[in-house]
Structure 1
Amino acid sequence: MTTDLRTRPAARTGLVSRALLLRFVSIVGSSIGFYLPLSVVPLYAEQAGSESGAGLATVALLLSTVACELVTPRLIARLGYRWALALGLTLLGAPTIILTMSDDIRVIVVVSVVRGAGFAIAAVAGGAVTALLIPADRRGEGLALVGIVSGVPSLLALPAGVWVAAHWGFAPVFVMTTVATLLALLPVPCLPRRAAAASAGDHHGVVAGLRDPTLTRPATIFAASTAAVGVLVTFLPLATSGRPAWVAASALLAQPAASTLARWVAGRLGDRHGSAFLLVPGLVLSAAGMAAIAATGTPAAVIGGALVFGLGFGALQNATLTLMYARVPSGGESAVSAIWNAAYDLGMAAGALGAGLVIASIGYPLTFVLTAAAILPALKLAHRDRRP
């Protein structure tokens, strides 16, 4: 008896290739390079006698990141993925060692600006090449896997940086950041050189993407939640400074842990049912979590709020990026990576800057409440974006 081959279900495309495994190494390195000192540098600036420097360092890092992200596709078109990614990792890691020699706020800001440029280049170049290495029919799941690979180091690095600084001082944090990031350069020569299609100057570029509402809506929705991340990572250690050190460390561990789990679940659900339906739940959970964190005197509320916020944020990470990649033709990966990463970092910068301007007058609890409220207007965009 013969078997009709047409009745057989199509085999699923393999997800993990050798090239993707090598890409994971640079993902881990850039995650450590960004997150390990992220909450430590504001503490370092404050200890040096600059209270305003805490927010200024984060804002400088993120504004530099956004500015460079939007021009990185042109850099990729000239240099290719390998050289662009190598340049980004070098700028992200190498300048950090300078902070072991000086705590001058001007030095801190300059280092933050250079590191921001490095992270922008590494994130956009790396994100674009990652998209090329993931099969289109498993994009949600593939991005979820990438989220785990990047999320686990950030999950560990963010609270670890605070813990190491509290117990051993700031210098070990800065040395470990430099070493881990530069080691990530080793597998870069094995990655693809450049995309076969589309350069930054064509109709799939950043400028065209910023004019496309099908891309800017999910990017804006994501930015609403990343603004809350900027407030959380910059000011939570300061808001809980009167509490045991484990409170801030636990909250900063709970948030990325929950985000990593949510990204995986969202990726699986998004491939089966579409990612747009995850936008509203993601925003609601994000707002609820930030509102709970406002109870800064209650460790359970702070840690639980960070956990709930992380679930919403992780769902939005996967859903928005998957939607954006699905809405551009082949060759538009660099533009999507640039716009999405810019939304990530511009949102974080806006959150840190806005909170820094009002915290002195209204206090930490009310600032967290206002941050939660600022997420809710994005629900209108989420309802409009339920269809691709």
Structure 2
Amino acid sequence: MKERLWTRDFILLGWVNLLMFGSFFFLLPTLPLYVTEELGGRENQVGLIIGVFAIAAIIARPWTGMLLDQWGRRKLMLVSLVLFVFATAGYFGAVTLILLLILRLVHGAIFGMASTASGTVAADLVPASRRGEGLGYFGTFIILAMVAGPSVGLKLADFGYGYLFAGSLTTALLGLVLALFIRYPGNSGTGRVDFRISPNQWKQLIDKGSIPFAASLVGLAVIFGGITSFISLYAAELGDPGLAGGYFFVYALALVLARVVAGRVHDRWGPDTVVYPGLVFYAVGLIFLGLAEGMFLFYTAAAFIGLGYGSIQPSVQAIIIQQAPENRRGAATATFFMALDLGIGAGSFLLGFVSQWLGYRGMYLFCLLFALLSATQYWRARKGSLREERGGGLQRTGS
């Protein structure tokens, strides 16, 4: 008999994540337009504004992973969501590029805290026997935010950026309210909190055993950084800025479909049956995106990339969580998200220069190189993991 997955707390946590990421996705396709239209920024500045958010999240996630294991899930989750609400309110005052850059640093760090906390709580709530399926469903709540968030954000921006920021703030606040009603399981903390980090404590911030698989996502995250930073500007170049909202809608629907199916396939037949086909879909999608002349190939690219990434990401996350001992899941989750943030931040910034060199079409075709690098790293990580399994079991022991 299967262990129960859809508990009250799992559903509530899913809604919290949907609202938190919904607030985030309101801003994702609109901030590049805000920077260029309202603040007079250039393409490389767009990349910096988007990328610095992810870099700040990288800085915050290791401490968050450690504090989750020290302070406990509930306290850190609620504190990070309160700070997230305040940071979202700050966009009303971000009226210059410098102010917006500073706010993005702060907002990114807080988002890193909140998303690491929610991901760790999800891992605690999901039964071990259904972890691939459960994390796939949990990720679907994020994808639902992606379905509506960009389109709603672009529509609100049509009325004015004040309406956009108000919508983002209201959504974040609703997420905080729902989080108050979750019963948080798992690690309740050691009771001792120490913010000081000595050189000998760095190993507590990052889960070393999670690095090989986390690294396999960096290349795909670089590509995602380029897509999120410039897809709105690419759509405008094609003659229809509204294509950007449709891109995220199609992409998100494909992600939902992939996650629902891939999670079950992962649990039954293993991750390779999901990840390798996902990489092929991802590469085909990039080719379509680079060749797009209008709506058809633009949205077809979104579907292929969504099917690919929706298969790959939850499977790799499940491997990372499954291999980590319970008292290191916070650090393992932080390591996983740090890899994504590193790639997104680097991609947003560096691909801005590539787009100036090759144009948007050439940039997305150039991204095939990063997909190949991710595929190679996954193969290497999987090879090492199978060797360890044969040598003495899947899950590492804590220390």
The TM-score, its normalising length taken from structure 2, stands at: 0.88
Does residue 187 (structure 1) correspond to residue 182 (structure 2)? The answer is no
Which residue of the partner structure matches residue 220 of structure 1?
215
Cα distance change on mapping 1:194 and 1:322 into 2, 3 Å: closer
Q: How does 1:265-276 map to 2 (within 5 A)?
A: 265-276=261-272
Which residue of the partner structure matches residue 161 of structure 2?
170
Distance 1:314 1:205 in 2: 30
How far 1:249 sits from its partner (Å)?
Answer: 1.7
Deviations 1:9-40 (A, max 9, x none): xx111112222122123212211122111121
Q: Answer whether contact 1:20 1:133 (CA < 8 A) is retained.
A: yes
Other structure's SS at 1:241 match: helix
Q: Answer whether contact 1:280 1:383 (CA < 8 A) is retained.
A: no
Deviates further, 199-208 or 32-41:
199-208
Which residue of the partner structure matches residue 307 of structure 2?
311
Which residue of the partner structure matches residue 292 of structure 1?
288
Distance 1:208 1:31 in 2: 24
Percent identical residues: 23
Correspondence for 2:49 among 49, 57, 62 = 57
Distance 1:269 1:370 in 2: 31
Distance 1:333 1:28 in 2: 22
Structure 1 unaligned runs (5+)? 1-10
Deviates further, 350-359 or 196-205:
196-205
Q: Answer whether contact 1:148 1:263 (CA < 8 A) is retained.
A: yes
Distance 1:180 1:205 in 2: 36
Distance 2:18 2:141 in 1: 7
Cα distance change on mapping 1:92 and 1:304 into 2, 3 Å: same
Across the two proteins, how many residue pairs are aligned to each other?
Answer: 374
Cα distance change on mapping 1:102 and 1:34 into 2, 3 Å: closer
Deviates further, 46-55 or 307-316:
46-55
Cα distance change on mapping 1:147 and 1:39 into 2, 3 Å: same
Which residue of the partner structure matches residue 107 of structure 1?
99
Which residue of the partner structure matches residue 27 of structure 2?
37
Which residue of the partner structure matches residue 236 of structure 1?
231
Does residue 209 (structure 1) correspond to residue 207 (structure 2)? The answer is yes
- Counterpart of 1:70, as a letter, is P
- Counterpart of 1:30, as a letter, is M
How far 1:231 sits from its partner (Å)?
Answer: 0.7
Which residue of the partner structure matches residue 94 of structure 1?
86
Distance 1:160 1:291 in 2: 28
How far 1:78 sits from its partner (Å)?
Answer: 4.1
How far 1:94 sits from its partner (Å)?
Answer: 2.2
Cα distance change on mapping 1:97 and 1:204 into 2, 3 Å: closer
Which residue of the partner structure matches residue 396 of structure 2?
none
Which residue of the partner structure matches residue 117 of structure 2?
125
- Counterpart of 1:378, as a letter, is S
Which residue of the partner structure matches residue 376 of structure 1?
372
- Counterpart of 2:12, as a letter, is L
How far 1:186 sits from its partner (Å)?
Answer: 1.8
Which residue of the partner structure matches residue 142 of structure 2?
150
Q: Answer whether contact 1:200 1:206 (CA < 8 A) is retained.
A: no
Distance 2:106 2:4 in 1: 38
Does residue 332 (structure 1) correspond to residue 325 (structure 2)? The answer is no
How far 1:164 sits from its partner (Å)?
Answer: 2.6
Which residue of the partner structure matches residue 197 of structure 2?
none
The TM-score, its normalising length taken from structure 1, stands at: 0.90
- Counterpart of 1:72, as a letter, is T
Does residue 26 (structure 1) correspond to residue 16 (structure 2)? The answer is yes
How far 1:136 sits from its partner (Å)?
Answer: 0.3
Cα distance change on mapping 1:205 and 1:261 into 2, 3 Å: farther
Distance 1:127 1:204 in 2: 21
Distance 1:277 1:81 in 2: 33
Deviates further, 318-327 or 290-299:
290-299
Q: Answer whether contact 1:93 1:177 (CA < 8 A) is retained.
A: no
Deviations 1:283-342 (A, max 9, x none): 222122122111243321111111101110111111100111111122221112101111
Other structure's SS at 1:192 match: coil
Deviations 1:331-358 (A, max 9, x none): 2211121011111111111111111122
Q: Answer whether contact 1:73 1:200 (CA < 8 A) is retained.
A: no
Root mean square deviation of aligned Cα: 2.3
How far 1:75 sits from its partner (Å)?
Answer: 2.4
Distance 2:162 2:88 in 1: 10
How far 1:206 sits from its partner (Å)?
Answer: 4.8
How far 1:100 sits from its partner (Å)?
Answer: 2.7
Distance 2:222 2:271 in 1: 22
- Counterpart of 1:39, as a letter, is P
- Counterpart of 2:224, as a letter, is V
- Counterpart of 1:27, as a letter, is N
Q: Answer whether contact 1:239 1:296 (CA < 8 A) is retained.
A: no
How far 1:109 sits from its partner (Å)?
Answer: 0.9
Cα distance change on mapping 1:149 and 1:56 into 2, 3 Å: same
